[in-house]
Structure 1
């Protein structure tokens, strides 16, 4: 099987071990053995996030947007109002979910703005909001929001915090018990390097009563999904069976490597691409101090005659995938280093890119 270097922000390049784990004997997901696997996945996620004492896990057969929808519709009550930080495509997606469910919300920041904690604090001190929701790593721009500061503001003001950790959980070294976030969610196919198809919501023990009272979705009910696994040793609805076995293999690999070690590998890979692409004349979208070290968005203006689709196809034929941009009114493309990727892979990418511009 040809190894592909995926520089899109998930699904990611996976190990052969994770691929092999998809091939398992057929099993009914109502069997005790499979229920035990679900609990092992939850325990592994809590260990990755250092939240074993204070957090619980709800698993859903869904993409990451499913976890986002589950959290928003389960955590925010009919009398509540959430402030959403809309400095990228996925913060805007949160507002769209709120509109679909008639959830009261306000927004702060424009596309591409850096999240300034002082402005967030000022908005929250108006006392019109009960919740704050934001994206830790906004993959539409490559920006990393200051999660520690934002959650600390919420704790000080008695605001419920909701964090999208879609493209950080498994690589960024969280200590959830110290952080004290109320809700944090992600999916199987990002920084844990599993296959797409399973998403998860981690919620603090102190949110159980709110979840019981607030759930407004049938499928995406966080409390009922968690409770069903505790009481019946199975999920409420049919999970993606093979994906679950594969995800468990990816969780074990994550724990074996160690999140701190993975984070250092990510940063080293990112630096190789950052230096190499700047040498080729590309300009980053963001200033260096706002970069996530997980994804890099690059401007296309100033590259006269450059055809992204031709560049993409050239690399794709050489088993390398790059990703188009999504920023309105700004021409960009993106490269992410999520997945089972190493410095040798990054050097190969730069050799191929350099060859493209030299031909």
Structure 2
């Protein structure tokens, strides 16, 4: 085996305030510079298992849960979870208080899965209200977004999980923009399915997504095999039996993801969560001081992303604002809230306080002309 390759290239540092793909560390970038290897080799299969174990270690789920890896965006993991978790006799209640809850609805509709929806865009899904809807219907599953990045709302995961446990309803959670930063304890919080991707709060590169599922769900997944590529049971089982994924993985992305997992575990999820909250507060206070208003009340904010109301700054040309910041290696993100003129800033990624202070310096420079 050749020694590790060396490569020298000057790469400018961009501060990405979009909700993934995120700003990555030098270590993660360098991890992609690796010897070529066929992904059918046992050495690479071992890496796949290490990635799965690392994902579970992040959520304290090594004893209770399993992982299915997919070469897909986060929406692929969402589709794999819904089509694999829901059997012919099941019915899911989807919390549709944002764009990604609505995406769950679209997937269920496309597969002909039985579902109902609750809550409107921007509503806060209080656990008591969720419980009431579950009591009024015959539901086997509940599907929800944890951090709804269309609005920046953090839905009450632990409280809704307890409601589902009380009613023997299986819980499906999109933790796309929270897993790896928000402290989720899979051993304590009753979660049947939870999914995310490599390029969000674990700070890897885009290209892999994953579904974490409780070991008690394995037989159900085996019965519910209706998809081909997005068959969660087959994807998981193939790695267990053959030490490889069913379809070709992005080799270099996998090495980078393993490095990102190591960085996450080294920093610690609780420490990362504090860093995220501190960075978010700098943005919140800075934009507030400049006269911006926010889509959500502060009590509902995720402390990961802010949706800002452009109507509070009617003179602001968002495209010009974006282009000015982009010229200074800062990326902001347009909004997706229906009938609302918003844009979004997130603190996902390898971002430190000096990065966020630099952002606010440039934002202030633009706003004050």
**Shared fold, TM over 0.5:** yes
2:361 corresponds in structure 1 to 351
Give a deviation string over 1:101-151, Cα, whole Å, max 9, x none: 000100000011111211110111134111000000000000000000111
Cα distance between partner residues in 2 of 1:219 and 1:73: 11
Structure 2 counterpart of 1:180: 190
- Cα distance in 2 between the residues matched to 1:302 and 1:100: 38
CA distance in 1, matches of 2:314, 2:105: 36
State how far apart, in whole Å, the 1-side matches of 2:169 and 2:137 are.
9
d(CA) in 2 for partners of 1:192, 1:143: 20
State the partner residue of 1:78: 88
- Separation in structure 2 between the aligned mates of residue 92 and residue 201 of structure 1, nearest angstrom: 19
Q: Which runs of 5+ in 2 are unaligned?
A: 1-10
2:235 aligned partner: 225
Q: Which residue in the other structure is 2:5 paired with?
A: none
- Relative to the length of structure 1, the TM-score reads 0.99
Shift of 1:199: 0.3
Q: Which residue in the other structure is 1:34 paired with?
A: 44
Q: Give the equivalent residue in structure 2 for 1:204.
A: 214
1:153-192 correspondence runs (5 A) = 153-192=163-202
State the shift of 1:357 in Å: 1.2
Q: Is the 8 A contact 1:9 1:338 kept in 2?
A: yes
In structure 1, what is the equivalent of residue 6 of structure 2?
A: none
Shift of 1:302: 2.6
Contact 1:197 1:243 in 2 (8 A): yes
Following TM superposition, where does structure 1 have runs of at least 4 consecutive aligned residues deviating by more than 2 angstroms? none
Q: Does 1:340 find its partner at 2:350? A: yes
Mapping for residues 123-142 of structure 1, pairs under 5 Å: 123-142=133-152
Q: Provide the C-alpha distance between the structure 2 equivalents of 1:208 and 1:276, rounded to a whole number of angstroms.
A: 48
2:332 aligned residue (322, 326, 331): 322
What is the CA deviation profile of residues 292-312 of structure 1, one whole-angstrom value per residue up to 9, with x for unaligned ones?
000000101131221000000
Q: Secondary structure at the match of 2:212?
A: strand
* Contact 1:270–1:294 (Cα < 8 Å) also in 2: yes
Higher mean C-alpha displacement, 60-69 vs 115-124 = 115-124
Please give the per-residue CA displacement for 1:84-117, whole angstroms capped at 9, x wherever unaligned. Answer: 0000000000000001100010000001111121
Q: 1:118 aligns with which of 118, 124, 128?
A: 128
Matched, 1:300 2:300: no
Residue 249 of structure 1 is aligned with which of 231, 241, 259?
259
2:97 aligns with 87
* Partner Cα distance (2:154, 2:248) in 1: 35
Q: Which of 10, 28, 31 matches 2:20?
A: 10
Q: How far apart in 1 are the matches of 2:234 and 2:313? A: 52
**8 Å CA contact retained: 1:75, 1:215:** no
RMSD, aligned CA: 0.6
Equivalent pair of 1:88/1:138 in contact (CA under 8 Å)? yes
Number of residue-to-residue matches in the alignment: 359
1:54 match: 64
